[in-house]
Amino acid sequence: MIRAIITGAFAVAILIGGSAASATAVKACPGDELDNCYTRSEMADFARIAVAMVGEFMSTIDPSNQFVPDAVYLIEDQQTVSDGCEGFVRNRMADAMSYFYCSADNGIYLGLSQMWEFYVSFGAAAPVIGLAHEFGHLMQHAAGIAEPDTFDEAIALENQADCVAGAFAAHLRNDGSIDKTEVKNLEKFLRSIGAAERPGRDHGTPAERANAFKKGLRDGLSACNSLANQTPISRDRSKISR
């Protein structure tokens, strides 16, 4: 179970299908627990909660709001959105199964069908942690880390983003939003989306993803610097996420 803890301190443009989304009231879930509260048709509303939760964590890391995307794009079924990475990083438009950060336009693209799949398969915390992973890529871009040239570089950056997600999970745990049982479930989630051990993979294996997540969870955000031997994405702010 995950509980919504939001202060309203984070602001970012949220678009649906490329158009500005109208604001809606936060749904009242029993005990503020987000699991088993939202339906497929309400995933856009759930996405707003997820963005606020991760964004507020990013604001505690850097109050100057360096880690804010230009926009978060929510994509429904039968919709496609042209993104800045189409054609040189990705070979297709963003759609309802997308879940990625694009450094070319500093945007985060969330397919609501993919979000729903995470939600029903692994609980409400899973799509939120997946979003924290994408914010990890935003942090890499803000630090000046270039797009990877090799598969090994890509894997290192993906594992580092999983570590950021782990540091965010520690933040949720310390705030009482998730418990130890949910943390274990999130490890299972990361394992489920790991890549098979094969040549040409660009994401971590199930074990690599889980271990990177646990590193951030256990040692804090600054520990994630060691997973990609490039410009550090975080100064020593481990107290924030421990």
Which ranges constitute the DSSP H helices of 14-150? 43-61, 112-122, 125-142
* pTM for this predicted structure: 0.90
Dig out the tokens for 8 from the structure: 């309203």
Q: What's the confidence (pLDDT) of residue 54?
A: 94
Counting Cβ atoms within 10 Å, is residue 242 exposed (0-12), middle (13-18) or buried (19+)?
middle
User: Which residues make Cβ contacts (< 8 Å) with residue 150, sequence separation at least 6?
Assistant: none
154-191: burial string, b at 16+ Cβ within 10 Å, e else = bbbbbbbbbbbbbbbbbbbbeeebbeeebbebbbebbb
100 in Cβ contact with 109 (< 8 Å):
yes
pLDDT per 10-residue tile (average), the chain, 242 residues? 70 73 73 93 93 91 83 92 75 89 94 97 97 96 90 94 97 93 95 89 94 96 87 59 40
Ordered by start, the domain boundaries in the chain are 14-241
